[in-house]
Amino acid sequence: MAIVTGSGSGIGRATAKLLASYGAKVVVADINPTTAKETVDDIRANGGAAVDVEVDVADDACARKMIDAAISSYGGLHILHNNAAAMGDVIANDGTVADMDAAVWDRTLAVDVTGPMLAIKYAVPHMIEGGGGSIINTSSAAALVGDNRGSAYGVAKAGLNALTIYVATQYGKQGIRCNAVSPGLVLSDHVRSVRRPEDLAVAEETHLTTRLGRPEDIANVVAFLASDESAFVTGHILRAEGGYLVHTPWLGRYPKPD
């Protein structure tokens, strides 16, 4: 039994579909009920089990309702993937600190940090009762480097990394693991719609892999962290960013050596 937030599209949708293909019964949670239903329909069309829940993860009552939906639908909860993030106008207006709109800052932290905290708060008792579980948070490489935009997002994801470590510490002895996956640039439909082709070209140039990331790449990492194959992994921030944080910053700008 699994919950995936922000699973109406992108990484969340890819993860929900993958977990369902492995036999998990999935709660597809998203603030957009239309896209959530599309994900559910896709899962069911392929023989999987899923229900959709409309949720604003930053709202306490919504978070509780989401967890309750998993328990009432499937009788328990073993996997929680906190993937939802503030998008749309919020992320579009997330710039430098000196120009920061406090409302953008507050909403970003509410969705990206408070949202996962609330989901974990209500999920943990059920996971303990069921013998344990795996919590996976979608962080970002933006938590590990600076940028000239996206200040609230980077700070929020850094906070999510800290939350991951604290949850792993507090509930590990009760059978709960908590990890985070830290993607780089992932070519979701949203990214394709907001990033200029020249920006994507620079990104591809500075990655060490032969291509940019896909939602399915991150879904595979989440599935690993959710499975018993990662039973000895907890409190870990797993970078899945195509190696662009590995090398010296000018490497991508110079011809490759013979």
- Rounded to an integer, what is the distance from CA 242 to the centroid of its chain? 17
The secondary element (H helix, E strand) that includes residue 138 is strand 133-138
Residues composing the chain = 258
CA 164 – CA 157 distance, rounded (Å): 10
> Of the residues 22, 74, 122, 153, which is catalytic?
153
Task: Report the DSSP pairing between strands 237-240 and 133-138.
Answer: unpaired
Does the active-site annotation cover 153?
Answer: yes
> What's the start-to-end Cα distance of the chain, in Å?
51
Other CB atoms closer than 10 Å to residue 233's CB: what's the count? 14
Helix (H) or strand (E) run with residue 98 in it: none
Active site residues: 153
